[in-house]
Amino acid sequence: MGIARKGLIAASQSRWLREHAMRWRFVRRASRRFLPGERVEDALAAARELAALGIGAMPSRLGENVTKAAEATSVAEHYAGVLQLMREAGLPGSLSVKPTQLGLDLDAELCYRNLGRILDASDGSGIIWIDMESSAYVERTLELFRRARTAHKNVGVCLQAYLWRTPADLDSLLPLGPAIRLVKGAYSESAEIAYPAKRDVDDAYVALTEKLFAKDSLVAGARPAIATHDPKMIARAIELANSGGVAKSQFEFQMLYGIQREAQKQLARDGFQLSALISYGTHWFPWYMRRLAERPANVWFVLKNLAS
């Protein structure tokens, strides 16, 4: 792991920075490139702008590691309300939720009930994506997904390419015909758990993409969601789709709101399904640091925007 990435991840875990940096004007200004605002209304306004460009939206309220059951239940009720607002606005009802936001640290059954509340509110339309957090949560998150998948077809789960275990996890999930969001990974993990070198992470991402686009995976019902801003990874997915005769309706690309906007528009113009993750809420600093850590070159991008 590079020095810049280590520093950014350390910043995401700093309680002092979390409490102080969010008040600094230049930090708040820089974050606005990637977060349209702190209110759900801000996220839905951004979603409407994207819809006009043919780009879908996945609102995601920031926050994790909820410590009170009532708060976790409140999060589920919030998301149910968001889905209602999206229906009223004519927007596809897709969301991204974190298990620890729904109470996974407290009780697996509480988390499952809260996820079920959101899925019931979705009326089966759009995919409710279960986000993946650090490696300590992988097993419980996959079990949550497996349980939810027995009752709901419109639930998906995130897998992280940098974890050594992910190929085996993917193999175990494929018989379910799952919707899989594939990311590289943005948490601080030891070399015993995750690839330490970017080159190896990239290779793992390509191998997992190839597995998702394999004929037997697609026949089983897998729906790949290639969540990356890396042009090489995007090109490889398109190449696999073209060579395998995979329809554009069978997979999608996912990116973050505000990043590579022109590339997002071009993918939409080319007829690919694309969704943008729109984060909002007051607990944005750790998320923002992890996003910069995924690609430290984004720090320079942010500085240029501040100067312009």
Is 290 tagged catalytic? no
Which residues are paired to 279 by β-bridges?
60
| Catalytic, out of 5, 33, 105, 131 | 131
| Catalytic, out of 5, 61, 181, 236 | 181
Which residues are paired to 254 by β-bridges?
227, 275
Give the HSE-up count for residue 144: Cα atoms under 13 Å, Cβ half-sphere: 33
Among residues 226, 229, 230, the alpha carbon closest in space to that of 256 is found at 229
What's the token pair of residue 94? Answer: 């897709």
Is 171 tagged catalytic? no
Catalytic residue numbers? 131, 181
